[in-house]
């Protein structure tokens, strides 16, 4: 297969950046998208050109590191996969593929296609945990949890923090990411103690980071590689408003 690749190149955060177009031949349909970029990079190195920098690590769709905005969609045209799991068989031979970094004020560009997603870490630090110290916890089976609740919490917990939701959202909103964690912990008995405080703090941090607001377009959920459901956002709205109205201070 043969492709024309239109890739965003930007040396560092200060650099202005611009698109650069590359021709790439001899691509196998069994290659993953990142393996295709590997091939391009080997060719660039061969020509003494700086290879395209991008974030990637596990290459099995779970670490959440890879983050390419491909042909107008985060992680490309396929549903339920990350960029590393996207294979070239999903593209037409001869196609022009536009590859851009995640675009959001809260995700500054590090280099080329790699962005800084530490805003997500700070949102979790604001309250995405249950405050238990190591040791001294009750037996794991002491509190039964209905299977349906555990499953629902699990579904929210599968978020990989890749940021595709922010990238897909026309407002660069992080509501799906934040709501996934708020939901998971608000559903489980272990998360009840800090439930309202958590929702308030995480939402405040989310706003602080400069993410946009939710317009309920559903683009985040549609593009989410783990299919995190929009109902989580509704749940977070409930949790947040309930917390604000119901809390003592």
Partner 1 sequence: MSWLSDTLTSTIGRKLVMSLTGLFLIIFLVVHLAGNFQLLADDGGLAFNAYAKFMTSNPIIKFTSYGLYAFILIHIIMSIALAVKNKNARPVGYDKVKGSANSSFSSRNMGILGFIIFVFLVIHLRNFWYEMHWGSIPMDEAGNKDLYAVVNAAFAEWWYVAIYVACMVGLAFHLSHGFSSAFQTLGVNHSKYTPFIKKLGIVYAILIPAAFASIPVIMFFNS
Partner 2 sequence: MNLESKIPEGPLAEKWTNHKFNVKLVNPANKRKYDVIVVGTGLAGASASASLAELGYNVKAFCFQDSPRRAHSIAAQGGINAAKNYQNDGDSVFRLFYDTIKGGDYRSREANVYRLAEVSVNIIDQCVAQGVPFAREYGGLLANRSFGGAQVSRTFYARGQTGQQLLLGAYSALSRQVANGKVELFPRTEMLDLVMVDGKAKGIVTRNLVTGKIESHSAHAVVLATGGYGNVFYLSTNAMGSNVTAAWRAHKKGALMANPCYTQIHPTCIPVSGDHQSKLTLMSESLRNDGRVWVPATKELAEKIRKKEIHPNDLSEDERDYYLETKYPAFGNLVPRDVASRNAKYVCDEGRGVNESGKAVYLDFRDAINRDGEDTIAGKYGNLFDMYRQITGSNPYKEPMTIYPAVHYTMGGLWVDYNLKTNIDGLYATGESNFSDHGANRLGASALMQGLADGYFVIPYTIGNYLAGEKYETIGTDHEAFKEAEKAVKDNIEKLLSIKGTKSVDHYHKELGKVIWDYCGMSRTAEGLNKAKDMVKELRADFWKNVKVLGSNEEFNSSLEKASRVSDFLELGELMIDDALHREESCGGHFREEHQTPEGEAKRNDEDFAYVAAWEYNGPEKPETLHKEQLIFENVKLTQRSYK
Binding partner selected for residue 128 from partner 2, partner 1, none, CB under the kind-specific 5 to 8 Å limit: partner 2
Please give the Cα distance from 200 to 229 (Å, whole number).
21
Residues 190-209 that bind partner 1 (CB under 8 A): 203-204, 206-207
Structure tokens at 40: 């391009």
52 binds partner 1 (CB under 8 A): no
Q: Which is nearer to partner 1, 71 or 158 (CB)?
A: 71
DSSP reduced 3-state for 96: strand
Beta strands 96-100 and 3-9 are: parallel
Q: Which of residues 108-167 bind partner 1 (CB under 8 A)?
A: none
Closer Cβ to partner 1, 19 or 143, answer by number? 19
Cα(97)–Cα(52) distance, rounded to whole angstroms?
Answer: 15
Residue 104, contacted partner among partner 1, partner 2, none, CB below 5-8 A by kind? partner 1
Answer yes or no whether residue 92 interacts with partner 2 by CB under 8 A: no
Distance in angstroms between the alpha carbons of the first and the last residue of the chain: 62
- Considering the rule CB under 8 A, would residue 238 count as an interface residue with partner 1? yes
d(C-alpha 126, C-alpha 123), whole Å: 5
Kindly state whether residue 111 participates in binding partner 2, applying the rule CB under 8 A: yes
Examine residue 247 and tell whether it contacts partner 2 (CB under 8 A): no
Residues 71 and 98: their CA atoms lie apart, in Å, by 5
| Distance between CA atoms of residues 94 and 200, nearest Å | 50
Q: Does 96 bind partner 2 (CB under 8 A)?
A: no
Nearest in space to 206 (alpha carbons), one of 240, 185, 178, 238: 178
Q: Which stretches of the chain bind partner 1, using CB under 8 A?
A: 6, 8, 19, 69, 71-73, 77, 98, 100, 103-106, 168, 170-173, 175, 203-204, 206-207, 210-219, 222-223, 230-231, 233-241, 244-245, 247, 249
């Amino acid at each position: 297969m043969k492709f024309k690749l239109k890739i965003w190149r930007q040396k560092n955060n200060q650099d202005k950046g611009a698109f650069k177009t590359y021709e790439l031949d001899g691509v196998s349909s069994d290659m993953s998208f990142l393996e295709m970029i590997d091939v391009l990079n080997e060719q660039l190195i061969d020509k003494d050109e700086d290879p395209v920098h991008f974030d990637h690590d596990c290459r099995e769709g779970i670490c959440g590191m890879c983050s390419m905005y491909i042909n107008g969609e985060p992680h490309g045209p396929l549903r339920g996969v990350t960029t590393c799991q996207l294979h070239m068989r999903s593209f037409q031979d001869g196609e022009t593929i536009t590859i851009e970094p995640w675009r959001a004020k809260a995700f500054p560009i590090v280099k080329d296609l790699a962005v800084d997603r530490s805003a997500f870490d700070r949102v979790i630090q604001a309250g995405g945990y249950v405050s238990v110290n190591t040791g001294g916890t009750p037996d794991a089976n002491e509190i039964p949890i209905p299977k349906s609740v555990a499953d629902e919490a699990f579904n929210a917990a599968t978020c990989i923090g890749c940021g595709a939701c922010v990238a897909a959202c026309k407002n660069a909103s992080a509501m799906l990411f934040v709501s996934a964690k708020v939901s998971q912990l608000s559903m489980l008995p272990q998360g009840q103690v800090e439930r309202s405080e958590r929702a308030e703090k995480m939402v405040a941090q989310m706003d602080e980071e400069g993410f946009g607001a939710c317009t309920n377009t559903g683009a985040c959920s549609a593009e989410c590689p783990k299919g995190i459901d929009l109902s989580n956002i509704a749940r977070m709205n409930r949790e947040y408003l309930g917390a604000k109205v119901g809390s003592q201070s």
